A and B are shown apart, each in its own frame.
Chain A
Amino acid sequence: MERILFGDNQFFGVNHVSDEKSRAQMMKFKEDKTILRTIDIAREEGVNTFMCTTHDRIGNICDLIRQEPEKYKGFNIYPCMPYAHKYANAVTELGIVGTLKQYVPGNFFGSLFKGGMAFVSKDYMAMMELLIDAEMKMFKGINVPVIFIQNVLTDLIMGLGMKDVLKEYHEYIIKKHNAEPAYITMNMPMLLDMLESVGIKNPIICSSINIDGFRMSGGKELYEHTLKTREVRGIAMQVLSGGATPVKQALQYVCGLPKVESILFGASSRGNIHETVSLIRQFDAEKK
């Protein structure tokens, strides 16, 4: 994995600390080309990996990238699935079964019901596999070396204690998509316990890691201890904890942590992208 990953929250109005800012960002990034131009700015700064949700508009960005294979040679996308609000809004409106009927491709679900309720374990996993494949379609022909499950789903599965589902996902991503399975979570130490319990060693886990301890469930000390003592390939997100701490101080903190292989950040302007990338490179250089 690259040291610095460029995220997509800013493009789709995902802002954890301001609803107002999020709406302003949605207006700014109305055009797909504006998004791609910002990705290009990050590439000019040497950031060649874009980590993004499987939002419908990412499909359009992928189309634009496929049109210029030379320009985007060596460019990587790390998809994070699913785009949860799509499903959450659907469940609010259609219920769980209605949502599955709408999104599981083909007539798989129809036949499931026609055949009565006599289905076995394999069917649920087949359903999950179909949903993964459906979400992955938009990335065809693009380098996708790492694939994530979004935190709301990872944490839901974890809370329900469905560790075998994580294991099945892990194996399927390797087998079918020839990529590294990875996880986003708001509960990193707890997830690491669960993954290890089903035999998944040294997993890639992306979680909030910041100097303020914001959204680090179980506490900042537990996270630091986990990073120090255990085998994990960490990705730090929300490193600026929504702007609570000055950028320099916030980045110095994450750059100094062990096992944080990559740092994920999102920004809309050239100035902010340049500042973040330069500071990370500077702190990394000082460490050596």
Chain B
Amino acid sequence: MVRVALIGAGKMGISHLAILGAHPDVKVVGVADTSKIVTDVLEKYSSFECFSDYKKMLEKTKPEAVFVAAPTKYHGTIVKELLEKGIHVFVEKPFCLNVNEGAELVQLAKLKGVVNQVGYHNKFIGTFEEAKRLMNSFALGDIQHFVGEAYGPVVVRKKQETWRSKPEEGGGCLLDYASHVIDLVNYIVAPINKVHGALLKSIYSGNVEDAVYALVETNNKLSGVLSVNWSDETYRKMSTTVTVIGDKGKLIVDATEMKIYFKEEKCPPPYTKGWNVKHINDFAEEVAFYLRGEEYSAQIDYFIKAIEGKVPNNKNTFETAWQTDSVIEKIKNNKN
């Protein structure tokens, strides 16, 4: 049994907690949150021990691993403290608001030799995994261009202010929706290392952007466009798509479907010339407990297995999440 604690029981924290609660190899030893109503309900109806101060929780419960789902602005401080204690860390995305702070944590995690993972759950979705596999085998030949997109209905009218509307606290579409798209492009195509220009547009929010449009380049000189908008109510929920065009074909992948077009007969089996459409149920692997999608259970299971030494700790590490943070910073620095 791995002794796990949670810091931050908001939307993602509660979701992680439920999956951890049902995980056969996990014992949840404590939950820390500053909201009295949340800890009160948990104390009353669940069997988790709750704390308003995470430091006290760490001291008392001595967890081997901690899930950090507190607001992004606290990630740096909390994660550093955990690493110094030699605790394995799973932290929600985005990783850090400040790239220097993030770089320090990447080094510290290596030094301490602890398992480190960030919650970019798309990498645990079968369709994106298959896209990655095909890209690794150069199935599309020389890449000409890519497009990373995400749309959804988070802010569809002017409303009251929350931490989501404060840029200094990690609010805004760039750190939320766009970080997923950047991370996926880095994974499936190649790491982005240049931003030629970006537009950060406010649509309904007063202080933060609701849309991000950017012209980018990867470290192997591929050009691409990012187009992200969380104020699009024509989408029922967040929908993330990566399109890649190469001289041998074209790939369009989202969380439910992977469509790939091959120009020639010579293509990786079982695919054939022309369009090939695969659905998530062709790839989805069974999980022991399902809450919101296989990927949320799978990423937690992967983290626990890495602690148990059953899988390598090489998926969604602090390092790849820090690369994503770096692109976010470049977009901010290059906004027009």
Q: What is A's interface to B at a CB cutoff of 8 Å?
A: 12-20, 22-23, 26, 85, 88-89, 91-98, 117, 121, 124, 152, 155-156, 158-162, 164-165, 186-187, 190, 212-219, 241-244
Contacts and interface: CB of A to CB of B under 8 A. Distances in A.
A95 B279 contact: no
Given A94-B160, A155-B18, A219 B286 contact: yes
Nearest to A87: B11
A98 B160 contact: yes
Ranked nearest first, the 10 interchain pairs of A and B with the lowest CB-CB distance are A159-B18, A186-B290, A162-B45, A17-B279, A217-B290, A159-B22, A159-B21, A91-B11, A160-B46, A161-B46
B284 interface: yes
A94 B286 CA distance: 33
Contacts of B257: 17-20
B21 A14 contact: no
Interface stretch (B34-42, B57-65, B103-111, B310-318): B34-42
B15 interface: yes
Contacts, number: 132
B11 A88 contact: yes
A85 B237 contact: yes
Contacts of B254: 19
Contacts of A94: 159-160, 162
A97 B47 CA distance: 22
Contact residues of A: prevailing secondary structure: helix
B17 A159 contact: yes
B45 A164 contact: yes
- Among B35, B45, B162, max chain A CB count under 10 A is at B45
A114 B153 CA distance: 32
Contacts of B137: none
B218 to A, nearest CB: 25
A14 B237 CA distance: 10
A81 to B, nearest CB: 17
Contacts of B281: 16-17, 212, 214, 241-242, 244
12 contacts: A13-B236, A18-B257, A19-B257, A91-B10, A93-B164, A95-B10, A95-B163, A155-B289, A156-B15, A186-B291, A187-B290, A213-B286
Contacts of A212: 281
Nearest to B297: A217
A226 to B, nearest CB: 15
Interface in B6-46: 10-11, 14-15, 17-22, 35-38, 40-42, 44-46
A213 B10 CA distance: 32
Interface in B253-280: 254-257, 279-280
Contacts of A12: 236
Contacts of B239: 19
B155 A97 contact: no
Contacts of A92: 11, 154, 164
A89 B153 contact: yes
B236 A160 contact: no
